[in-house]
Amino acid sequence: MRRHRARSSILSTCGFLAAAALWAGCAGTGDRQASSSAPVDYVEQIQPILETNCYECHGSAVQVPSGKLRLDGRKGMLKGGRSGHPTLIPGNAADSPLYIVITGGSGDGTWRAMPPHGKRLNPDDIALIRGWIDQGATFGAQ
């Protein structure tokens, strides 16, 4: 009987330790997710991506930007282009045309993939843009 109680005590201690280890592992995962949602800075992180990949057709140096859409500042992005829709919906990347086009466009043809020629944005840049929009798409001191 004594042996049975000892074994039962050891099993419950092991069960408690296993549960604690599992909880600690989950807490660690949450911490990693929190650090991946660090604030995204428009001037330091987003503007260089847009400048490299979008300004050739949608920047201030172009007399008539493609689709009448300017991506070189807050005013142009919120106004949108020929479609009449804002380019981004602050706080909602999934429904923002900017995010939709850089991830391959819409399946129904409403928004085509951008850039239309050449290399696409890399996954890290796309993730930064998504984070920036989901965080409210602030433009800093603009």
User: 120-141 pLDDT, tens per residue?
Assistant: 999 999 999 999 999 999 998 6
- Which residues, in sequence order, are CB contacts of 58 under 8 Å at separation 6+? 65, 66, 67, 69, 70, 71, 72, 76
CA distance 32 to 30: 5
Cα angle value 103/107/108 (rounded, 5°): 135
C-beta of residue 125 within 8 angstroms of C-beta of residue 45: no
- The pLDDT of residue 24: 34
Q: What is the pLDDT of residues 8-66, one digit of tens each?
A: 443 333 333 333 333 333 333 332 233 357 999 999 999 999 999 999 999 999 999 99
- The pLDDT of residue 36: 53
- The pLDDT of residue 116: 87
Structure tokens at 117: 């020629």
Please state the pTM of the whole predicted model. 0.71
